[in-house]
Structure 1
Amino acid sequence: MDGFSGDVDLEDLDLDSDADDSGEADEASRGLFDDLLEGEPIFENKEVLRPSYTPHKLPHREEQINNMATILVTALRGETPSNILIYGKTGTGKTASAKFVSEELETTSQKYEVPCEVEYINCEVTDTQYRVLAQLANKFIDKNGRYIENRLEELGDLRDRAAEDPAELDDTDFDSVAAVENEITSLESDLEEFDPVPMTGWPTDRVYSTFFDAVDYHERVVVIMLDEIDKLVEKSGDDTLYNLSRMNSELDNSRVSIMGISNDLKFTDFLDPRVKSSLGEEEIVFPPYDATQLRDILQHRAEIAFKSATLSDDVIPLCAAFAAQEHGDARRALDLLRTAGELAERGRTETVEEAHVRKAQEKIELDRVVEVVRTLPTQSKLVLYATILLEKNGVHNINTGEVFNIYKRLCQEIEADVLTQRRVTDLISELDMLGIVNAIVVSKGRYGRTKEINLSVPLDETEAVLLSDSRVGEVEDAQPFVQARFDN
């Protein structure tokens, strides 16, 4: 019989060596982060380089900000502002400017005691009519709850004072303590009736009705900011926008204005004409930044983000130059600067240098490729994997037929549907548009035309991402498929 039985005397066991080993392990664990913390940090406040940060000043966007303020100022007079559509490519300051103006609007409304609220929805995440309406409904239900609780506190105080001195009611809407009591009872009943919307499960018309009642509970002007509005229309059509844009004709107490933010200048082409006319009452276009403007933005943020004398002179101009090539994308410029700082910090250097920016550029580009490849449909992944297998075997200027032959074998191996060669050609074109491959149509004379395909991304890293997919990873040994291509 394996094992042992019987009593064991602890004194017979050698615990000292284990204790020594444990002590060494503890010492090693303690030193792990101590070593990393020894170097001087480069960042003062890294958060100002993130897209979520709303700066107190937005250089080179004064005109757009003033246009928004001119349109929205009517909310501070208790009137309904025109709906606004904001256009511009990624990283042109649309969302940051809109949030900046919204914060100023809410601050000023509190100053002048005008009920005005702004609600932000990211339609890339909240991308269906149900989710948008549910999220808005729950936000207003929460606000109404706080409004009622504050009102109950005021009325309770008034009731107590009026019970001792009825003159306390002279400048109020109440003629007796009983009237105050009735209002308290009514508000308490309202508070109990508020029913939060679950994120699934209700009919859409019930969600809309709940949202409508929550918004209209008391007098206020509401600006609903729909960021990435084109994603909502792409996923769910324009029903949400239709419902929101016609609300004001039915509301009794409140007024609603829509501020839509889009990267796609043409998304309104797909809208119902009635929605399009009401939604696009005012349009503001954000042009791309040039290299000089990007440099100003980076300089402004760097003064807050980094400790003094930690950036070499060529870091900000280089970040600006790289981002200017990417259609003037300030978000890309800020990502570059932050990543360069992180690489310098990890390397325990005291300053951020040009080399850190160039490494950051490579890292960000690789991260982008990895994310794009990871989210490709399975069929596109198989087409890309076929291209990679050919390149790994020394084939250059790969043609569509060669890719298709390897693709067919891969599909058979994992029991996936085999698409037609024409459809595979379309998938290659899509990969070309994404910048993953470079596909050029070349003439073969009397043999017709074909596409010559080459990878535009790092081979090994892209292959690793593809093989991490559960379906593509089923291909255990692809070498025979490629070898067959040479044997034929």
Structure 2
Amino acid sequence: MGDDGYNFMKKLLKSESILMRRPEVFLESYIPPRILGRDRQLEELAFYLKYVTRGVQHPHIIIHGRPGVGKSVVVRYALKGVSEFLDREVSDTSYKYSYVLCRDHRSEGKILEKIIGDITGEEVSFVGHSISKHYKELKNAVEEFGGTVTIVLDEANLMTRPNDVLYNLSRFSVDRGGISIICITNSATFLDNLESSVLSSLSPARIVFPSYTSPELELILKDRAREGLYPDVLEDGVIQYCAAVGAHEDGDARRAIALLKLAVMIAEREKSDIVTVEHAKKALKELEKDVIGQTVIKLPPHEKIVLLSIASLSKVLSEVYGQKDVKVTTGQIYGMYQSICRSIGVSPLTLRRVGDFIRTLSELELIDTVKVHRGRYGLTRTVVLGGKPEYYIQTILEDQRFSFLTIDELHNMAANFRK
């Protein structure tokens, strides 16, 4: 890059924002200095967590509610507070917590590696070793630490084997120290899908987070604006508009905050010294443009292959039978999945693993699943795609790993499984 290009970029990169004072305030990972609209849930959580101040494990806890209702931020806020309290007030009690986002760490092995790493402060990997090796290392880590450890499993419904993970962790025992589990889930049926032996072993306390109301969202947005923006940069009505959008979408604070942040960015892009309601309306259009697409893009490779299989089958079957909301079976999906794997040079996984991926895609609301009894043929599961097949196919094929697949090739593969 020549001096002209360098100076041009330097001027842009070093320019001060006239609207946003602290961008980190609008990040999902941000823990605000105060929690608004969740006093009751925070008090319930603190009631259980107080056990660790006495050097003993707190009860296992299940926290559930819709996305964006404050579950994760309340838990992280509370655990941070407990840690700070113990550091200042109770010097003879050792305590740590491990925060595992199950969207990023889905398998039992990856979850355990993250926990061990959080306890020891070192990055660990036991690729190629058995799960028993992982639990042995976890036992060593907890006993060497010698204190109480809280394990947070956020988006727990996305774990590959939730029954195995929760059963093994809830029955985990050590000579020194101990662990407690907090599961956070968006799924209303998460507990219903756990085996009775797991529920019995967990015996969890339950905390339910209701949706935010519009007035509660206004308070949250005003607080974020006060922390993150310069004074007097919001036009009257911007906060109310963003709060109303969040309230309309099941009281989703995450959505409302993201909308306000994007409105500010659009105003800055247009070189405006104030954020207007019109900027917020433009921001909403941008947010609505490709939420599903971003979810698809972030899927791991094998889940993309399964979704591509479902979309390709749905497209062919709808063309053959002229039906909307075409139902495909797990058998058809697995056959198509194997064909795509062979075509792109990937080793296919087992039918059981593909079943896990189907469940995950359902949790992400990309597909709907229905169990169907077929008499002497037993129980099968049918799948309906949650959108237009062409959209999913196009989005996945933009991934370089799939770029040499063609629409015609997928059509021919799917045609073999149309019956």
TM-score (norm 2): 0.74
Is 1:133 the equivalent of 2:112? yes
Identity of aligned residues (%): 27
Which of 321, 324, 336 aligns to 2:247? It is 324
Query: Does the 8 Å CA contact 1:85/1:283 hold for their aligned counterparts?
Result: yes
Deviation at 1:64, TM superposition (A): 0.5
Structure with greater proportional helix content: 1
Equivalence for 1:379: 309
C-alpha distance in 1 between matches for 2:326 and 2:161 = 36
Equivalence for 2:286: 363
Gaps of 5+ in 1: 1-21, 144-195, 391-397, 405-414, 418-426, 437-454, 482-488
Deviation at 1:344, TM superposition (A): 1.1
Equivalence for 1:70: 47
Which of 167, 178, 185 aligns to 1:242? It is 167
Is 1:118 the equivalent of 2:102? no
Which of 180, 196, 217 aligns to 2:144? It is 217
1:50-129 alignment runs, 5 A limit: 50-110=27-87, 111-113=89-91, 114-129=93-108
The 3-state SS of whatever aligns with 1:80 is coil
Is the alpha carbon distance of 1:325 and 1:472 closer, same or farther for their aligned partners in structure 2, counting shifts above 3 Å? farther
| Residue deviations 1:221-254 (CA, integer Å, cap 9, x gap) | 221111111211xx1241221121112xx32221
| Residue deviations 1:133-164 (CA, integer Å, cap 9, x gap) | 22222333348xxxxxxxxxxxxxxxxxxxxx
Query: Does the 8 Å CA contact 1:40/1:350 hold for their aligned counterparts?
Result: no
C-alpha distance in 1 between matches for 2:145 and 2:406 = 62
Is 1:298 the equivalent of 2:221? yes
Is 1:30 the equivalent of 2:7? yes
Is 1:344 the equivalent of 2:322? no
C-alpha distance in 1 between matches for 2:240 and 2:189 = 33
C-alpha distance in 1 between matches for 2:366 and 2:114 = 36
The 3-state SS of whatever aligns with 1:41 is coil
Letter in 1 for 2:281: R
Is the alpha carbon distance of 1:403 and 1:252 closer, same or farther for their aligned partners in structure 2, counting shifts above 3 Å? closer
Equivalence for 2:334: none
Equivalence for 1:13: none
| Residue deviations 1:393-452 (CA, integer Å, cap 9, x gap) | xxxxx9428999xxxxxxxxxx979xxxxxxxxx9xx99x9589xxxxxxxxxxxxxxxx
C-alpha distance in 2 between matches for 1:372 and 1:119 = 25
The 3-state SS of whatever aligns with 1:317 is helix
| Residue deviations 1:7-59 (CA, integer Å, cap 9, x gap) | xxxxxxxxxxxxxxx9xx53244124425755752100011111100111110
Is the alpha carbon distance of 1:253 and 1:36 closer, same or farther for their aligned partners in structure 2, counting shifts above 3 Å? closer
Deviation at 1:276, TM superposition (A): 0.8
Is the alpha carbon distance of 1:474 and 1:101 closer, same or farther for their aligned partners in structure 2, counting shifts above 3 Å? closer
Rg larger in structure: 1
TM-score (norm 1): 0.64
Equivalence for 1:465: 395
Query: Does the 8 Å CA contact 2:24/2:30 hold for their aligned counterparts?
Result: yes
Letter in 2 for 1:124: R
1:158-197 alignment runs, 5 A limit: 197=124
Is the alpha carbon distance of 1:400 and 1:52 closer, same or farther for their aligned partners in structure 2, counting shifts above 3 Å? same
Letter in 2 for 1:259: I
C-alpha distance in 2 between matches for 1:284 and 1:242 = 20
Is the alpha carbon distance of 1:208 and 1:399 closer, same or farther for their aligned partners in structure 2, counting shifts above 3 Å? same
| Residue deviations 1:64-101 (CA, integer Å, cap 9, x gap) | 11111111111111222111111111111001000111
C-alpha distance in 2 between matches for 1:120 and 1:321 = 31
C-alpha distance in 2 between matches for 1:435 and 1:320 = 26
Query: Does the 8 Å CA contact 2:101/2:155 hold for their aligned counterparts?
Result: yes
The 3-state SS of whatever aligns with 1:216 is helix
Letter in 2 for 1:42: L
Deviation at 1:272, TM superposition (A): 2.4
Equivalence for 1:192: none
Is the alpha carbon distance of 1:315 and 1:401 closer, same or farther for their aligned partners in structure 2, counting shifts above 3 Å? closer
| Residue deviations 1:143-192 (CA, integer Å, cap 9, x gap) | 8xxxxxxxxxxxxxxxxxxxxxxxxxxxxxxxxxxxxxxxxxxxxxxxxx
1:437-476 alignment runs, 5 A limit: 465=395, 468=398, 474-475=405-406
Deviation at 1:287, TM superposition (A): 0.3
Equivalence for 1:202: 129
C-alpha distance in 2 between matches for 1:29 and 1:474 = 40
1:146-157 alignment runs, 5 A limit: none
C-alpha distance in 1 between matches for 2:115 and 2:290 = 34
C-alpha distance in 1 between matches for 2:130 and 2:407 = 47
Is the alpha carbon distance of 1:44 and 1:272 closer, same or farther for their aligned partners in structure 2, counting shifts above 3 Å? same
Is the alpha carbon distance of 1:209 and 1:352 closer, same or farther for their aligned partners in structure 2, counting shifts above 3 Å? same
The 3-state SS of whatever aligns with 2:96 is strand
Is the alpha carbon distance of 1:218 and 1:345 closer, same or farther for their aligned partners in structure 2, counting shifts above 3 Å? closer
The 3-state SS of whatever aligns with 1:283 is strand
The 3-state SS of whatever aligns with 2:98 is strand
Is the alpha carbon distance of 1:309 and 1:468 closer, same or farther for their aligned partners in structure 2, counting shifts above 3 Å? same
Query: Does the 8 Å CA contact 1:85/1:259 hold for their aligned counterparts?
Result: yes
Query: Does the 8 Å CA contact 2:102/2:153 hold for their aligned counterparts?
Result: yes
Equivalence for 1:312: 235
Letter in 1 for 2:221: L
| Residue deviations 1:248-303 (CA, integer Å, cap 9, x gap) | xx322212211111111211222222321342431000001011111110011110
C-alpha distance in 2 between matches for 1:78 and 1:317 = 45
C-alpha distance in 1 between matches for 2:186 and 2:325 = 37
Q: How many residues are matched?
A: 356
The 3-state SS of whatever aligns with 1:267 is coil
